[in-house]
Structures are given as structure tokens and as C-alpha cells.
């Protein structure tokens, strides 16, 4: 079982890196559109300074997934 996990890990890491790149690209569109970094945006959304606009819901969801994926990738490497 351990050998199977070690064999599959490089494929999983590669897939995770591709997903991270896609999420970063998606987030960059929001950052440009709203002229704000994702870190600043997320702080504002968490503090209730922004509404529940569809873009903001999507942006915060992608941001959370991206953060989780980066954390997971760092544990695998």
C-alpha cells in the first residue's frame, strides 16, 4: 500500500500544481477587475466590509480553495 501511495504521489502533486495555476489565473481576473489584492479582499470580506455580490462569493471561495491547495502541496513536497 505504501508503495502505491509513493507511486501515485508525483501524479497527485502535478495535478495539484495545475489546479493551483488555474485558481491563481481566475483570482487574477478579480484582482484586476476590483483593483485589489486577494489578501486585502479576503480581509475585507471577513470583516463584513463587502456585500454578498456573486463575484465576491466566487472570489472568496476560490481564494479559500487556493489557500488549502497551497497548504496541501507544501505538506506533500
Any residues with CB less than 8 A from the CB of 19 and at least 6 apart, and which? 69
Categorize the per-residue pLDDT at 1 as very low, low, confident or very high, splitting at 50, 70 and 90. very low
Residue 59 buriedness (CB in 10 A; 0-12 / 13-18 / 19+) = buried
The more confidently predicted of residues 74 and 7 is 74
Instruction: Encode pLDDT of 19-35 as tens digits.
Output: 999 999 999 999 999 99
**pTM for the predicted model, two decimal places:** 0.83
Amino acid at each position: 500500500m505504501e508503495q502505491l501511495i509513493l507511486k501515485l504521489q508525483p501524479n497527485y502533486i502535478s495535478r495539484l500544481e495545475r489546479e493551483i495555476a488555474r485558481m491563481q489565473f481566475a483570482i487574477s481576473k478579480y484582482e484586476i477587475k476590483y483593483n485589489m489584492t486577494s489578501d486585502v479582499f479576503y480581509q475585507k470580506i471577513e470583516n463584513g466590509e463587502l456585500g454578498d455580490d456573486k463575484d465576491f462569493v466566487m472570489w472568496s471561495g476560490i481564494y479559500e480553495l487556493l489557500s488549502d491547495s497551497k497548504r496541501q502541496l507544501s505538506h506533500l513536497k
